[in-house]
């Protein structure tokens, strides 16, 4: 599929600088792009690669001095958003499976499956469960007793939705994620650890996306809640009775301990750990591999273990790097001991 640079500029609402008739047939990374490919620069740190790229067209916010005339440019205030539109143009979403229940699927007689929904091969839908309009379950999915999945959802292969869990509309769950596994609750006693029944559920509100192999534990009592618009990456663990606020995003391997509340519009880097029974304010950004044990207020940027304000963390890290030289100086002052 080929399209001109002018057509792409019109598609994303960008100003075209250069040859509008240039044919383009796909997208590529800046270091790999050839003359018929389009790439993008959203971070100024990547401008240094611009003279070296072989891309026929580049989406960016402004053209650096000396680069005019070398290729076609699509100039826009938001290059990343423009690139997403171009990516979708060249790689439209694959067609959904046809509605209906695959002959190899096992569906309880009292389960409610919308006529426009699709239940894939070897999937299981238990008694009392409901699947909404246009929702897709690919192969080997499991929907437990009395679980409810809304409209326009897409469950990739091997997804598990356990009993009584509730999923809103337009939810995407990637491969092998588990929604509603038992919370980690045990009571110590003389004969060992007695398992505490986990009788609550998990609620995923509308427009949530859950990454592959992510696990969200059901509440001991009540609900574990993932609120509207939350996006969770792969390999994340959300413990029992956690409440994740609207439009929060978490990168891979984040762990949130039980009964914690995460504010709205928060951003967690990879491998962040949140201790249990704390309530974080809205708009918090947390650097990768940080450990958070308390709230610092809204719209803060945190880093380190234990986490502190990002500027303090950077000062601490800079000081730690000076410790070897400081130790040498102290030993010298002490007479070489």
Question: Which pairing describes strands 118-119 and 172-173: parallel, antiparallel, or unpaired?
Answer: unpaired
Task: Looking at the chain, list the stretches that DSSP marks H as alpha helix, in order from N- to C-terminal side.
Answer: 5-12, 79-90, 310-321, 323-333
d(CA 255, CA 54): 41
d(CA 74, CA 90): 16
Torsion, CA 107, CA 108, CA 110, CA 113, rounded to 10? -10
Long-range contacts at 264-270 (CB < 8 A, ≥ 24 apart): 264/227, 270/233
The answer for residues whose C-beta is within 8 angstroms of residue 199's C-beta and 6 or more apart is 220, 221
Q: Select which of 89, 240, 277, 293 is catalytic.
A: 240
Question: Which pairing describes strands 192-195 and 160-161: parallel, antiparallel, or unpaired?
Answer: unpaired
* Chain centroid, CA 2 distance in Å: 31
> Is 89 annotated as catalytic?
no
The 10 Å CB-count burial string (b at 16+, else e) for 93-117 is: eeeebebebbeebebeeebebbebb
The answer for residues whose C-beta is within 8 angstroms of residue 25's C-beta and 6 or more apart is 1, 2, 3, 36, 37, 90
Provide the phi-psi class of 320: left if phi over 0, else alpha when psi is between -120 and 50, else beta. Answer: alpha
Question: Which are the catalytic amino acids?
Answer: 240
């Amino acid at each position: 599929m080929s399209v001109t640079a002018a057509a792409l500029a019109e598609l994303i609402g960008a100003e075209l600088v250069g040859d509008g008739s240039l044919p383009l047939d796909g997208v590529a990374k800046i270091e790999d792009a050839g003359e018929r490919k389009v790439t993008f620069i959203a971070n100024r740190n990547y401008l240094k690669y611009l003279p070296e790229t072989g891309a026929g067209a580049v989406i960016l916010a402004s053209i650096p001095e000396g680069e005019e005339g070398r290729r076609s440019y699509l100039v826009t205030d938001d290059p990343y958003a423009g690139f997403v539109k171009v990516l979708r143009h060249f790689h439209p979403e694959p067609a959904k499976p046809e509605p209906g229940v695959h002959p190899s699927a096992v569906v309880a007689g009292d389960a409610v499956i919308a006529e426009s929904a699709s239940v894939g091969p070897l999937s299981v839908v238990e008694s009392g469960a409901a699947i909404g309009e246009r929702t897709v379950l690919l192969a080997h999915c499991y929907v437990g007793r009395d679980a409810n999945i809304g409209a326009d959802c897409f469950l990739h292969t091997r997804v598990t939705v356990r009993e009584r869990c509730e999923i809103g509309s337009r939810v995407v769950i990637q491969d092998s994620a588990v929604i509603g596994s038992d919370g980690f609750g045990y009571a110590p006693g003389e004969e060992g650890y007695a398992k505490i029944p986990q009788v609550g559920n998990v609620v995923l509100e509308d427009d949530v996306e859950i990454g592959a192999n992510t696990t969200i534990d059901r509440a001991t009592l009540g609900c574990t809640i993932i609120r509207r618009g939350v996006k969770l990456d792969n390999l994340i663990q959300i413990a029992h009775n956690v409440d994740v606020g609207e439009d929060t995003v978490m990168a891979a391997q984040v762990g949130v301990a039980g009964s914690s509340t995460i504010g709205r519009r928060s951003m967690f880097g990879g491998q962040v750990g949140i201790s249990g029974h704390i309530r974080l304010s809205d708009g918090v950004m947390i650097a990768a591999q940080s450990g958070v044990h308390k709230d610092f207020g809204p719209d803060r940027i945190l880093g380190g273990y234990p986490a502190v304000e990002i500027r303090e963390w950077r000062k601490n890290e800079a000081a730690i790097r000076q410790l070897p030289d400081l130790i040498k100086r102290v030993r010298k002052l002490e007479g070489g001991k």
